[in-house]
Amino acid sequence: GAGVSQSPSNKVTEKGKDVELRCDPISGHTALYWYRQSLGQGLEFLIYFQGNSAPDKSGLPSDRFSAERTGGSVSTLTIQRTQQEDSAVYLCASSLERGGPYEQYFGPGTRLTVT
């Protein structure tokens, strides 16, 4: 079946601009996660959505970062007033959760470059 998809695959933006990154999870997966992968920081957790529960935002690095998940499916990660240190690969993952814990399935990522 279809895996996790992310768009765009690459995004180049100027410092100070806002960007939106999109994630389409695997159908039927109730949990959705965003991570960031960068050379200096490795793989970092950003935010986690589980069903209708309040999201776990404990990994968001600043208030410039926000995410939403509409209808329990598609998620958008928004970065406002981008900075050069935001340059990274942003990975989305989804999993089943009830009766878990289940492994997370990752998308191919969005490579963000802030110039």
- Residues forming the site for another protein (CB under 8 A): 4, 31, 33, 35, 42-45, 48, 50, 56, 58-59, 91, 93, 95, 97, 100-101, 103-109
Cβ proximity to another protein, 4 vs 21, nearer residue:
4
Locate 111 and state its tokens: 């490579």
Least separation in angstroms between CB 97 and another protein: 6
Cβ proximity to another protein, 16 vs 45, nearer residue:
45
Cβ proximity to another protein, 18 vs 87, nearer residue:
87
Which ranges in 1-110 belong to alpha helices (H)?
none
Cβ proximity to another protein, 93 vs 114, nearer residue:
93
Q: Rounded to an integer, what distance in angstroms lies between the CA atom of residue 43 and that of residue 115?
A: 22
Residue 21 is classified by DSSP as E
- What phi, psi does 7 have (nearest 5°)? -145, 150
**Total Cβ atoms within 10 A of residue 32:** 28
Q: Are 22 and 76 in contact (CB under 8 A)?
A: yes
Least separation in angstroms between CB 100 and another protein: 8
